[in-house]
Amino acid sequence: WKKLYLAHHWPVTVCKMSANDCQDPPEYWTIHGLWPDKTEECNRTWHFNVTEIKDLMSDMRHYWPDVLHSSLNRTQFWKHEWEKHGTCAATLQVLNSQKKYFGKALELYQHVDLNSCLLKAGIKPSSSYYQMTAIKEALTRFYGVTPKIQCLPPEEGEKAQTIGQIEFCFTKELQLRNCTAPKGESDLTQADWKLGTEELSVCSDTLPTYYPSQVQ
């Protein structure tokens, strides 16, 4: 693999996608995962062990919660992320244990500090619409790189897309880089993220964009 995606998702949109037992989703961007591109499930024998990350627990629950299943003792989401993505990321020395993988993802999340960057740019959850180009420009101006932004396409009768996920790309040295692939390099990342029948796809630059403040 060539790069890592640090995916943040917007809990309100995640809940909108799935009528699951979402209760009071956090009103800040949380971690979805840290994903090497082009690889999945690299070591099926390396099982998730929650005791390895017990020191990270309070941060994990706060910044990397299982938005869909709100009970606190759920570790299924982290298990899934480790087995699917962490076992692949572990080819890097700085990510080669569960504690390092989850700890480093938390560190990158704090470093990117997406929540405060959006607020500084005046982009906050609202009942009015945003232009996707304005959101992109703010992020690119702030970080100096192009992130990948995913939305829930408009539902029947809606005219706006709903922002759902913002991914930042990192090199193997854990430096921010553009998420766009250089010409000639195809950028096949994991299939678009599905929940039930709804799925996120790359946002359209032309549709008005909804950044919802609570689950409708």
| Alpha helix (H) residue ranges in the chain | 11-17, 57-63, 76-81, 87-89, 98-112, 114-120, 132-143
Count other C-beta atoms under 10 Å from residue 74's C-beta. 14
Residue 85 known to be catalytic:
yes
Q: Kindly state the tokens that stand for 50.
A: 């929650």
Report the DSSP pairing between strands 208-210 and 161-170: parallel
Instruction: From the candidates 8, 85, 167, 198, give the one annotated as an active-site residue.
Output: 85
CA distances from residue 124 to 79, 89, 119, 152, 157 in whole angstroms, order as listed: 31, 32, 6, 18, 24
Instruction: From the candidates 81, 83, 167, 198, give the one annotated as an active-site residue.
Output: 81
Residue 47 known to be catalytic:
no
Whether residue 45 contacts residue 82, with contact meaning beta carbons closer than 8 Å, is answered with no
DSSP letter assigned to residue 20: S
Helix (H, G, I), strand (E, B) or coil at 63: helix
Instruction: From the candidates 8, 9, 32, 198, give the one annotated as an active-site residue.
Output: 32
Residue 167 known to be catalytic:
no
Q: Using alpha carbons only, give the angle 149, 134, 182 rounded to the nearest 5 degrees.
A: 50
Query: Known catalytic residues?
Result: 32, 81, 85
